[in-house]
Amino acid sequence: MIRLANVSHDYGGRGLLSGVDLHIAPGAFHFLTGPSGAGKSTLLKLCYGELRPRSGRIELFGQNLAALSRDALADTRRRIGVIHQDCQFLDHLTLAENVALPFIATGRPVPEADLHELLSWVGLEHAADALPPTLSGGERQRAALARAVIMSPEVVLADEPTGNVDWEMSQRLLTLLVELNRMGTAVMIATHDLTLIRNAKALVSARILRIADQTLQSAGSDL
Partner 1 sequence: MSFVEILRVRFDDAGKVVPSSGYTTVLTTLTAGAMAFLAVFALALSLSSGQLAQRWSDTLSQSATLRLSAAPSEIGAQTAAVLEILRTTPGVVSTRVLDIDEQRALLEPWFGPDLPVENLALPRLIEIIETPEGFDAAGLRLRLSTEAPGAVLDDHTRWRRPLVAAAASLRGLAWVSVVLIAGAMAAMITLAAGFSLAANVQVIRVLRLVGARDAFIARAFVRRFTLRALIGAAGGTVLGVAAFALLPVAGESGFLTGLGFQGAGWFLPLVIPPLAGLIAWAATRTAAFRVLRRES
Ligand X SMILES: Nc1ncnc2c1ncn2[C@@H]1O[C@H](COP(=O)(O)OP(=O)(O)OP(=O)(O)O)[C@@H](O)[C@H]1O
- Residue 25 binds partner 1 (CB under 8 A): no
Is 114 a binder of partner 1 (CB under 8 A)? no
- Measured between alpha carbons, how far is 153 from 26 in angstroms, rounded to an integer? 11
Which of 3, 7, 39, 150 binds ligand X (CB under 6 A)? It is: 39
Chain center to CA of 29? 12
By the rule CB under 8 A, 133 interacts with partner 1: no
Q: Find the binder of ligand X among 6, 11, 26, 198 (CB under 6 A).
A: 11
Contacts of 184 (CB under 8 A, 6+ apart): 26, 27, 154
Q: How many residues does the chain have?
A: 223
Cα dist. 176→49, 50, 103, 167 in Å? 25, 25, 21, 14
Residue 82 interface partner, choices partner 1, Mg ion, ligand X, none, CB cut-off 5-8 Å depending on type:
partner 1
Closest approach of Mg ion to the CB of residue 37, in Å: 8
Number of residues lying near ligand X (CB under 6 A): 11
Measured CA distances, 70 to 63, 152, 155, 189, 192 (Å): 13, 22, 20, 26, 33
Reported as type and span, the H/E element at residue 138 is helix 137-149
Taking the C-alpha atoms of residue 59 and residue 143, their distance in angstroms, rounded to an integer, is 29
Name which of partner 1, Mg ion, ligand X, none residue 105 binds, using a CB cut-off of 5 to 8 Å depending on partner kind.
partner 1
Tell me if 16 contacts ligand X by CB under 6 A.
yes
Strand (E) or helix (H) holding 199: helix 194-203
Which residue has the CB atom at the shortest distance from Mg ion? 41
Query: Does position 85 bind ligand X by CB under 6 A?
Result: yes
Residue closer to partner 1 by CB (options 131, 203) is: 131
**Out of 18, 33, 41, 98, the residue judged to bind ligand X by CB under 6 A:** 41
Q: Which does 14 bind (CB under 5 to 8 A by kind): Mg ion, ligand X, partner 1, none?
A: none
Sequence-separated (6 or more) residues with CB below 8 Å from residue 171:
199
Instruction: Name the site residues for ligand X (rule: CB under 6 A).
Output: 11, 16, 34, 36-42, 85
Instruction: Name the site residues for partner 1 (rule: CB under 8 A).
Output: 48, 50, 70-71, 74-75, 77-78, 82, 84, 88-90, 92-93, 97, 101-102, 104-107, 147, 151
